[in-house]
Structure 1
């Protein structure tokens, strides 16, 4: 069994690792550390929670020269919370160092003038921040990144989704051509490829497959809404078994606000988290959630990528995320440390193809129904699987068209049905190809 001792890190890092009881590298760290320590550019495809943070922080902090008072490493993260977590992890690792690496956090929603004063007084040796704020500091020539030796883009797919790639491009373009670049992402979308080709030199792609897609301690339930009001269903679910801490995920900020208002009117003390809430208020809310002042939290996917809230016993998906891979991040908030967790996903009949996509990732659902305020076993999903095994799975809307057109018996109805089936088949092939590329 390998240990961190084999990597010959400086003593201050070994002491810091021992303080947090890190002795054995994770699979991601074992795969990523050798190429990173060899100075190679690396594209790391690994899930959140795989240990990739320490896989790049340890070599960077081992390589920073504390006698050189210039910017030596820059790390970008797509949200303030993720950047703060990276800063906290880096500060823990240098806690036994003397003199310590000078680390600075640069994120939006904080005092810009104070940040500028800090940088102008003394350039940080490691700066961690959100792309927008870092790009602002670079383009205004406050932050001198021409001396950078290490550049990390963390959660690159999320940066792409949030429209931050141009800012990351502006930061990278101001750096020297000879530097070690590391990009980490749960997925590698096609739109990310031009950026990777532009800045990376023969990068090594390291894919770290999770041992299991979701933890075996999670009971993953699929609940057909059957046209019922989502708000009422969610309210009922939140009252089942009195969850220790429940996270409800919605796809948009507007939907989070709507759910938050509804649940408050039902008498629940609920918190909400999304990107339009000021950073200071979000930080205060997260602290109150961790202090168990709230039992219910409604959030967008921002909370699924990097915000680590302990004690989550229930996750509810008001809708499936636009990117099926985000489903793993949402559900993975519960069932941690061997403690049982429940995840319930609401779905409508027209979302059969989305469910099939998620199942194609190796995730299994337990079909259940909501009756008299309790979750009970259902057989809908088994029937769907039998249909798949018996031949071509036709979209329910097309089946409805067949029944409707047969009743009408108008000329050309067979051609209309055949055409609809062909269109549906093309759509399914396109989805399958996309999933294959992702795999």
Structure 2
């Protein structure tokens, strides 16, 4: 079968590497990016998680490296060690053993002195790493910024969220003004715009919006934890049926530790990955997961885009993420490359509005429940919406306050309105009961007069 990547005039060595790794058909983002990047265009690429962005920028970079120059020619930053390691792994798979292009991985939590000694003896053509370590090596001269021709910022929105954009800004400042820059991200937040305008002049904007927010091969379930232990529900989900590989996501390190400890107590062997785990241990765990030594992994959102494991059959959201975009990144770990997957989100009473926000983004939930060890259809989480609308039961004062606070869009406005409504309801209830008592007294008094 012909390899479709040949249409881009990529060298034979890379085509052979693509064939070895089973890459024969470009994804939509690769079709758009590769030919432009090969010609040196600066690009802002936006597409969903799992769309093939990594290969889209690695192929042109490796193809265009001048091996006759013993200099650093391309730098790629990623906001987490796991992401940088994944990009490095893909690059080494493309290069194989005989390719003269040299690539180096530079991430925090590794031996810096060892990296410095290696760079003294052999300069690398491509540097892949986390922003902090890359900047450190540029500042002390171990990496030469003035020779760089291409700079890639991968997962830019996550870079911004984790507070690394200022570091990336400083890295870009060490490179020549004539620079091919490529920025890739699942979303392009407004706060990222000043950075893009500072370093990119009329870049090519490539935006591929998915037909659906999450892959249509994913069954998206929601389960209420009302009156139940969420940890127990997670345990049941892991032991019902035969899941191949399950990623369980929680919002905090503490919650990950709690779930992991509970599963361990039940005899479940699970890995855990979060920012509090030592870098060496995280690498060991990631390697073990890749080798299929773990069937279950509990992780925070830091790892949501850092884990790129084939064959994830289930994603369990132990709690609804604080950022709606994280929901997409979590669920994007399953149902990839046309394969089927199942995403299960647990929610507590009072969190229905969070589900409503996700549905507003175009995400549809199928309610489920666990009954006698089986997963069965559950009650609609938004069934109350078919009754009298909540706002219709509010007084004019509270409804006006709701509209006013919504317009302001200040943090905590929902809680502010809710508390005001609860206070008004409490007051109205007191007044109603007092009137009932008064009416009862009047009736009793009237009965007494009638008897007299």
Residue 48 in structure 1 maps to residue 29 in structure 2: no
How far did 1:315 drift? 1.6
How far did 1:337 drift? 5.1
Residue 331 in structure 1 maps to residue 331 in structure 2: yes
- SS of 1:380's partner is coil
Residue 25 in structure 1 maps to residue 26 in structure 2: yes
What do residues 182-207 of structure 1 show as CA deviations (whole Å, max 9, x unaligned)? 00000111111111111112111110
CA distance in 2, matches of 1:292, 1:12: 30
C-alpha change, 1:312 and 1:3, in structure 2 (3 Å) is: closer
CA distance in 1, matches of 2:3, 2:101: 28
What do residues 379-431 of structure 1 show as CA deviations (whole Å, max 9, x unaligned)? 324625646xx8xx647xx96xx5xxxxxxxxxxx354324532565478999
CA distance in 2, matches of 1:97, 1:64: 15
In structure 2, the residue matched to 1:353 is 353
In structure 1, the residue matched to 2:445 is none
How far did 1:21 drift? 3.0
Q: Quick check: 112-121 or 33-42, which moved more?
A: 33-42
How far did 1:115 drift? 0.3
Aligned-CA RMSD value: 2.6
How far did 1:80 drift? 1.5
In structure 2, the residue matched to 1:417 is 398
How far did 1:136 drift? 1.0
Q: Quick check: 343-352 or 120-129, which moved more?
A: 343-352
Residue 134 in structure 1 maps to residue 115 in structure 2: no
CA distance in 2, matches of 1:39, 1:382: 50
C-alpha change, 1:320 and 1:382, in structure 2 (3 Å) is: closer
CA distance in 2, matches of 1:128, 1:153: 10
| Structure with the greater alpha carbon radius of gyration | 2
Q: Quick check: 66-75 or 9-18, which moved more?
A: 9-18
Contact 2:85 2:105 in 1 (8 A): yes
- Where does the alignment leave 5 or more consecutive residues of structure 1 unmatched? 403-413, 432-439
Q: Using structure 1 for the length normalisation, give the TM-score.
A: 0.86
In structure 1, the residue matched to 2:39 is 38
CA distance in 2, matches of 1:7, 1:33: 7
C-alpha change, 1:69 and 1:294, in structure 2 (3 Å) is: same
- SS of 1:48's partner is coil
Query: Where does 1:16-165 land on structure 2 (aligned, <5 Å)?
Result: 16-95=17-96, 98=99, 100-165=100-165
C-alpha change, 1:214 and 1:191, in structure 2 (3 Å) is: same
In structure 2, the residue matched to 1:245 is 245
In structure 2, the residue matched to 1:12 is 13
CA distance in 2, matches of 1:215, 1:191: 28
CA distance in 2, matches of 1:427, 1:252: 29
Contact 2:50 2:332 in 1 (8 A): no
What do residues 310-329 of structure 1 show as CA deviations (whole Å, max 9, x unaligned)? 33322210112222122122
CA distance in 1, matches of 2:294, 2:92: 29
C-alpha change, 1:69 and 1:361, in structure 2 (3 Å) is: same
CA distance in 2, matches of 1:382, 1:320: 16
In structure 1, the residue matched to 2:436 is none
Contact 2:44 2:182 in 1 (8 A): yes
C-alpha change, 1:278 and 1:328, in structure 2 (3 Å) is: same
What do residues 128-151 of structure 1 show as CA deviations (whole Å, max 9, x unaligned)? 011111011112222111110000
What do residues 145-187 of structure 1 show as CA deviations (whole Å, max 9, x unaligned)? 1110000000111111111112111111111111100000001
- SS of 1:325's partner is helix
CA distance in 1, matches of 2:248, 2:157: 23
Contact 2:244 2:311 in 1 (8 A): yes
- SS of 2:76's partner is strand
Q: Quick check: 277-286 or 370-379, which moved more?
A: 370-379
- Where does the alignment leave 5 or more consecutive residues of structure 2 unmatched? 413-452
CA distance in 1, matches of 2:204, 2:390: 42
